Amino acid sequence: MQLKPILLIAFVAASAWPQAQVIATGLPGATKLLLTPQGNFLVSETNMAPNLGRISFVTRSGSRRSLIEGLPSGTEVTLAGGSGPSAMVLSGRTLYFAIGPGDSERRGTAAGTSIHNPAGASSPIFCTILEFRFSADIDTVSGTFRLTPAQQQALADGNTLDLDDGAGGKSQASLLARFPISEPDRIALYRFSNPWGMAMAEDGKSLFVSDASQNTVARVDIGTGRWQKIARFGPIANPSPVGAPMIDPVPTNIRIYGDELLVSFLSGFPFVPGNTHVMILNPKTGVATPFIGNLTSVTDILWRDRPNGRAQFFVLEFSSNQSATPAPPGRLLRYDSPEPAVAAAGLITPVNMVLDQATNELFILELRGQILRLQLN
């Protein structure tokens, strides 16, 4: 199926949709949201302390419990937040999830440079994709699986672990793919990996992974774990007098769109309003073209088919002006045509969203630890 791009936006109109409602809290460091087959949620959460990353199971009514604990985490390079569990894909009883760079990176002495943490990283499985194969459907698992530092090392060594959740549930855990912690860069010294978005191909044989630091998209073979970079995104011009003349594009999430991929972009400092976009990527050729433009700090995009035969798109913006002090809240834009409407405003640090087609509801995850519900028309 080949789907065609819509035109770049012209202006933003108001929306008559109801306001988003909070359905869950208490999810610090929330990064990614996933809908389970029975309409519950999985939430990946980072932490600034080592090995306190987790994946939470959250019911539709907002009750939380830990599904997996003891995951790699640590203070990320800006010393302002945590890095650890991030993107997730659920396929049947198998959960794939990415682990970020954690505390492996530190700022170099020169501006704009990065070096490896002189104190060493707190985990051997940063910048990887882990695979957990559960013995039962995810909605029926009632206990908590926990990884110890020794088990993290065992995964790094290529072993498969048999885990018990303490409530009769079983899981086999393994390391599917490992990305290089960093690659040399003549300007930054090192450019660290940061797997941030992930989507499964329609045939179920591979994962597409966007890297927010290396500005790439990779394809990972689920059967072998072999990966290859299929696209690299070059810097974009900085239209402001602040900062360097070129800006990192910073890809965030990735979505399957027919035979192609939709990739959203945050863009780097100075986070100029209207200077980022969503691109459409051909995974066979690696060619990416603009799809929706004049956007600001985009963290996610979703789409769905409508009865009139036209696709409807939703774009999530982290802030309408991330460079302002204080930064204004984020928002959700809805595209029924090339001219968007604001479907939800006043969002605080929105980072991810999922759509429940069965109930016509859209759920938004905020980094501060909340899940919001928006009833669609």
Residue range 181-194: mean pLDDT, rounded: 95
Say if 2 falls within a structural domain.
no
Is 152 a residue whose pLDDT tops 50?
yes
The percentage of residues in the chain with a pLDDT greater than 90, rounded to a whole number, is: 87
Q: Residue 51 pLDDT more than 90? A: yes
Residue 3, pLDDT score: 37
pLDDT of residue 12: 56
Residue 320 lies in a domain: yes
Residue 265 lies in a domain: yes
pLDDT digits (tens, 9 = 90+) for 301-349: 999 998 888 899 999 999 998 888 888 999 999 999 889 999 999 999 9
pLDDT of residue 373: 98
* Closest by CA position to 311, among listed 301, 320, 298: 301
Question: Considering the domain boundaries, does residue 5 fall inside one?
Answer: no
Q: Under a CB-based contact definition with an 8 Å cutoff, are residues 20 and 363 in contact?
A: no
156, 175 contact by CB (below 8 A):
yes
φ, ψ of residue 150 to 5 degrees: the values are: -65, -35
Encode pLDDT of 78-131 as tens digits: 777 899 999 999 999 999 999 999 999 999 999 889 999 999 999 999 999 999
Residue 253, token pair as written in the block: 């999430």
Give per-residue pLDDT as tens, 266-301.
Answer: 999 899 999 999 999 999 999 999 999 999 999 999
> Does the residue 118 lie in any domain?
yes
Query: How many C-beta neighbours within 10 Å does residue 109 have?
Result: 7
Is 171 domain-assigned? Answer: yes
What is the average pLDDT value for the chain, to the nearest integer? Answer: 93
pLDDT > 70? residue 13? no
DSSP 3-state of 155: helix
Identity at 82, one-letter amino acid code: G
Q: What percent of the chain has pLDDT over 70?
A: 95
Q: How many domains does the chain have?
A: 1
- Decide if 158 is inside a domain: yes
Tell the burial category of 316 from Cβ atoms under 10 Å away from its Cβ (0-12, 13-18, 19+): buried
- Lowest mean pLDDT of 37-51, 53-67, 327-341, name the range: 327-341
Full residue range of the structural domain in which residue 52 is found: 21-375
H or E element: which one contains 149?
helix 149-156
In a domain, 255, yes or no: yes
Adjacent-strand bridge partners of 221: 206
Supply the CATH number for residue 292's domain. Answer: 2.120.10.30
Burial (CB < 10 A; 0-12, 13-18, 19+), residue 86, is: buried
Handedness of CA 25, 26, 32, 36 (dihedral sign): negative
Listing DSSP states for 4-43 in one string gives: PPPPPP---B---SPPPEEEE---TTEEEEEE-TTS-EEE
Q: 145 near 69, Cβ under 8 Å?
A: yes
